[in-house]
């Protein structure tokens, strides 16, 4: 995806549907950075990714656990989904303890990061950036940057 591309979804289901289409383009090794305010749809999108990968466990916004790992059994190349929510991280040490820079090298996993701005320029250059904006109660704008 080279050009910026945006879509306004009308429901949670549609946001998940966009996510599931998006996953079909991935091969493993991708870092996906989700930008946007509280309640803008980042976790909902992640649930759509997980659904497409056949993950049955419920994905929510981790409260104290910053990183969750989900095994993937139904994809030829992607064997794990890492879901990271950096909202509550305060210090560089919080982040270093996660082993994030190691998991970013794994070619048979994908990593979804909510609040990636918390680690600023440490996000790999080739990360896929997606921005979420609240439009109204049921609508969210999703921009593939
Ligand atoms: N079109 C839509 N797409 C996604 N979510 C929607 C949509 N319309 C309404 N919502 C609601 O918006 C909220 C999105 O919450 P979600 O947890 O996905 O946000 P988030 O960006 O992960 O927030 P946080 O930064 O707090 O983790 C949910 O309550 C969901 O029901
Ligand atoms: Mg969230």
pLDDT value of residue 73? 94
Q: In this model, does residue 63 exceed pLDDT 70?
A: no
pLDDT value of residue 2? 59
Q: Under 8 Å CB-to-CB from 56, ≥6 apart: which residues?
A: none
What's this model's pTM, rounded to 2 decimal places? 0.95
Centre of ligand 1 to C-alpha 45, Å, is 8
pLDDT value of residue 3? 73
73 lines ligand 1 (CB under 6 A): no
Inter-CA distances, 18 with 52, 100, 109, Å: 10, 26, 20
Which of 7, 8, 11, 12 for mutating ligand 1's site (highest number of atoms within 8 Å of CB)? Answer: 12
Centre of ligand 1 to C-alpha 81, Å, is 20
């Amino acid at each position: 995806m080279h050009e910026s591309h945006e879509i306004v979804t009308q429901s949670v289901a549609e946001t998940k549907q966009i996510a599931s289409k998006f996953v079909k383009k991935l091969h493993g090794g991708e870092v996906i950075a989700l930008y946007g305010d509280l309640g803008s749809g980042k976790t909902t999108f992640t649930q759509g990714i997980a659904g497409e990968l056949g993950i049955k466990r419920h994905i929510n916004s981790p409260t104290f656990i910053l990183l969750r790992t989900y095994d993937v059994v139904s994809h030829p190349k992607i064997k794990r989904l890492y879901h990271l929510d950096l909202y509550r991280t305060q210090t560089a040490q919080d982040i270093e303890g996660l082993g994030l820079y190691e998991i970013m090298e794994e070619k048979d996993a994908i990593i979804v990061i909510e609040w990636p701005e918390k680690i600023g320029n440490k996000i790999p250059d080739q990360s896929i950036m997606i921005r979420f904006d609240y439009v109204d109660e049921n609508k969210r704008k999703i921009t593939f940057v």
